[in-house]
């Protein structure tokens, strides 16, 4: 399995960002081949983190591209700073 993690700082409206992600982005993730799970976390203090899990690297890479496009088209005003993006093979899980 592979995962992609994106950390956003300076989120201006976490409640609205969560609503838009849940209604618009989650359905996009479910369409990616090899989808396993997606989580959107409110870490407080204007920080939100997303985690996407896929069966293979291609799915994780696709999620990064889709996230970039979705933020640009739908969340730019709420997520004013580019995210820190990390991706890699899942080497332990529970």
- pLDDT score of 57: 95
| 8-state DSSP, 10 | -
Q: Considering only CA atoms, which of 22, 39, 24, 86 is closest in space to residue 60?
A: 86
In CATH, the number for domain 2-89 is: 3.30.70.100
User: φ and ψ at 50, to 5 degrees?
Assistant: -115, 145
Residue 5 β-bridge partners: 51, 86
Band of the pLDDT at 75, cuts 50, 70, 90? very high
- pLDDT score of 25: 96
Per-residue pLDDT of 47-74, as tens digits, reads 999 999 999 999 999 999 999 999 999 9
């Amino acid at each position: 399995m592979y995962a992609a993690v994106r950390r956003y700082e300076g989120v201006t409206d976490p409640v609205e960002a969560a609503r838009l992600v849940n209604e618009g982005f989650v359905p996009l993730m479910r369409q990616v081949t090899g989808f396993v799970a997606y989580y959107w976390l409110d870490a407080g203090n204007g920080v939100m983190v997303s985690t996407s899990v896929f069966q293979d690297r291609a799915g994780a890479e696709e999620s990064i591209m889709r996230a970039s496009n979705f933020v640009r088209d739908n969340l730019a005003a709420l997520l004013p700073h580019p995210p820190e993006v990390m991706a890699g093979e899942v080497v332990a899980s529970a």
